[in-house]
Amino acid sequence: MKKFRIAATAALILLCSVSITAIFSCKDKCGSTTCQNGGTCTDNKCVCSVGYSGNACQTAWTDQFVATYNCYRGSCTPASTGGAATWQSAVTKASTDGGETITISNFASSNITVSATVDTLGKMRIGTAGAPGISGNGSLANDTIKVDYTLSTAAGVGGYNCNFIMVRIR
């Protein structure tokens, strides 16, 4: 009977050791960091969902763009005489997704609001439905967005290739 108690006690100690090890090894691999916005912890590091960055996936890619900007007309081919030479536009987060879509109001000195998807590198892809169609690209560096876009005619034939810059207002 004594051997049985010793064996049972040893088995119980072993079981407790394994249980304690299992409990502590299941601890969040990201330590005290909680991955946000759908991020998951892999290899002790938060892996962020599309649209977010940061050590805890706390920063939406759109955050770097959101502001009011003074805008300056560049050039169009063929030449266009429409619109003001300078104007203001606001960039806001779109409410349609978590972190990768912005809207730009008063785009190219018009009453048009366009949507753009952005990435963590400060690049954006512009596109809006309807006539006239607008598509293009932009990049953000040093509080300035450089925009290149194409404005198609209502019939989708021909159009303008244009550019302008947007400088963040401080």
106 touches 90 (CB < 8 A): yes
Structure tokens at 125: 């892809």
- Per-residue pLDDT tens digits of the chain, which is 170 residues long: 555 455 444 443 444 343 433 333 333 468 889 999 899 999 889 999 888 888 999 888 888 899 999 999 999 888 876 678 899 999 998 766 666 889 899 998 888 888 898 887 889 999 765 445 888 999 999 999 999 998 886 665 668 899 999 999 97
**Fold of domain 61-168:** Lipocalin (2.40.128)
Kindly give the pairing relationship between strand 59-60 and strand 52-53. antiparallel
Do 61-168 and 2-59 have the same topology in CATH? no
- Is CATH 2.40.128 the right assignment for the domain spanning 2-59? no
Find the length of the chain. Answer: 170
SS3 at position 15: helix
**What is the DSSP code string of 83-94?**
S-SEEEEEEEE-
Q: Parse the chain into domains and list their residue ranges.
A: 2-59, 61-168
Burial of residue 52 (number of CB atoms within 10 Å: 0-12, 13-18, 19+)? buried
- Phi and psi at residue 115, in whole multiples of 5°? -105, 150
